[in-house]
Structure 1
Amino acid sequence: MPLGFRQAEILEITERDGKVTVDGLAAHFNVTVQTIRRDLTELDQAGLLNRVHGGAMPASGTHNFAYEERRGLQAEAKERIARACAAEIPNDCSVFLNIGTSTEAVAEHLRRHENLLVVTNNLNIANILSQSPGIEVVVTGGTLRRTDGGLIGPQAVDTISNFKLDFAVIGCSALDLDGDVLDFDVQEVGVSQAIVARSRKTFLVADASKFDRTAPARICSLRDIDGFFTNAPLDTGLAARCEDWGVALHVSAP
């Protein structure tokens, strides 16, 4: 379903806070409770959140938001995260960018880099970088996932196995408090695991809404990540583990 501005912000608030109330949203947007109830009902029917008595909670952890909805969520945070991540990638190197709206934001900030080799299983990223003369783009094979332009499956993994890249930039759908990096699609997870294995350094880009979500498939642990770019401080315990693991945290707060 196409989202209005208010509904997109309702999803962001729900993801951030874990639960919202009708009264609280009505006050926030300065609209009637009837208007908010209608918004929540439509979002619930679309599977984007769970309607509960007096409010709503994030959708269950077995299905991701539709691609267009994800593109609009946390847009400002993704922009800050992407800028910080791209700044850590030098010219004259090789980079892998995987599927996701956060990695697409990174691609936008790489457009003026020079002498890059970018390998991707994301047709949107290939398109973003196609007009950049200083960047050579290699697109993996694989099965096209029409919902988001991603290429997944064994052919994508086989292509990745032919490379050893300087950097990988990956996104995720959720992050557990134990440091596990999670996603929804098992085939996509297999590609992301191959990317991590074939890169000298791996950067994770994920906004703070991922801290409150869950997903069923494990990509890796933050232990396997060299740099984590986000927009809010981590849970104290997880931050301490990242320090022990040698993960460089980059928090791009407003």
Structure 2
Amino acid sequence: MVQTLRKPEIIDIARREGKVTVDQLVEHFQVTPQTIRRDLTELADAGDLERVHGGAILPSNTSNIGYVDRRELNQPQKFDIARECVQHIPNDCSLFLNIGTTTEAVAAELFNHSGLLVVTNNINIANILSDHPSVEVVVTGGNLRPSDGGLIGALARETISQFRFDLAVIGCSALHMEGEILDFDIREVGVSKAIIRRSDKVILAADSSKFERKAPIQIATLSEIDTFITEKTPPTASVELCKRSATQIILAESTHPTRTAKTATSATQN
């Protein structure tokens, strides 16, 4: 395949999967590693990708990936994380689920739970749980973000302030290597901060693609949450922060045949 045809396909793969690796592209296109490295360098020079060790990721900017692309991105990992996450959600509790495709996957896994009060600022989650016979759903209200069904702004924060949640499950757009939990929309970040303040326990559910992405606005740090559920060991600095703050890291076990299974573990062990 000529270079002009490879480049758009490389960008498409990065959008679907969050990143591309040299080895992956060599196998896909049946060309040499030197050819792929040259392609990635030229795409990075053009601003279409950002080079990282062993490959490239989508470029850093101030806006998130589109909702449809996010929903399809790393689906197997999100499903694994969601299945692990619901094991830590008890019956008969009050639960907040915020905006995000991973929290939507968590909502879809709650079919065996009962006695839940679920509050959400995510219209998609409300729809997922609308037919659940043992879950009461409260939608916060707020300014609707049509791109992903998120409810943000002052009204959402005001609704949240009237509750005290047993547990919250939140997602994020990016996770800095030093443990900062990041997002793109200042209005959404304000809502996420309110969720953390009003919750007795907080679980962050985020797949490892977030380790290599960037976003400009800080929600919190890993030291401010109780449990971080992901599918791959986070960067060393993040792990050390979790150890110091007694934040538990749980690695979701893979149920996808192309991934290596990992046993749930804790950063507070060893």
Q: Which residue of 1 aligns with 2:169?
A: 169
**Cα shift readout 1:55-85 (whole Å, capped 9, x = no counterpart):** 8542223221000000000100000101111
Quote the offset at 1:240 in angstroms. 1.9
Is the contact made by 1:178 and 1:238 (CA closer than 8 Å) also made in structure 2? yes
Distance in 2, matches of 1:14 and 1:103, equals 18
The alpha-carbon deviation at position 28 of structure 1 amounts to 2.3
Please report how far the alpha carbon of residue 237 of structure 1 lies from its aligned counterpart in structure 2 after TM superposition: 2.9
Unaligned runs of 5+ in 1: none
Give the counterpart letter for 2:15 in structure 1. Answer: L
Which consecutive unaligned segments of at least 5 residues does structure 2 have? 1-7, 254-260, 262-270
SS of 2:64's equivalent? Answer: coil
User: How many pairs does the alignment contain?
Assistant: 236
User: Residues 61 and 213 of structure 1 are in contact (CA less than 8 Å); yes or no, is this contact kept in structure 2?
Assistant: no
Q: How does 1:33-182 map to 2 (within 5 A)?
A: 49-50=48-49, 57-182=57-182
TM-score normalised over the length of structure 2: 0.79
Q: Is the 8 A contact 1:112 1:132 kept in 2?
A: no
Measure the CA separation in 2 of the matches of 1:79 and 1:89.
Answer: 16
Question: Measured at CA, do residues 62 and 120 of structure 1 come closer, stay the same or move farther in structure 2, by a change above 3 Å?
Answer: same
Q: Pick closer, same or farther for the CA change 1:120–1:14 going to 2, 3 Å.
A: closer
TM-score by length of 1: 0.84
Q: Return the letter of the residue paired with 2:101.
A: T
Aligned-pair Cα RMSD in Å:
2.7
| Counterpart amino acid of residue 86 in structure 1 | V
Q: Contact conserved, 2:15 with 2:69, CA < 8 A, in 1?
A: no
8 Å CA contact 2:16–2:72 kept in 1: the answer is no
Q: Is contact 1:8–1:69 with CA below 8 Å preserved after alignment? A: no
Higher relative contact order (CA 8 A, sep 6+): 1
Q: Give the percent of matched residue pairs that are identical in Structure 1 and Structure 2.
A: 48
How far, CA to CA, are the matches of 1:212 and 1:183 in structure 2?
13
Q: 1:27 — aligned with what?
A: 26
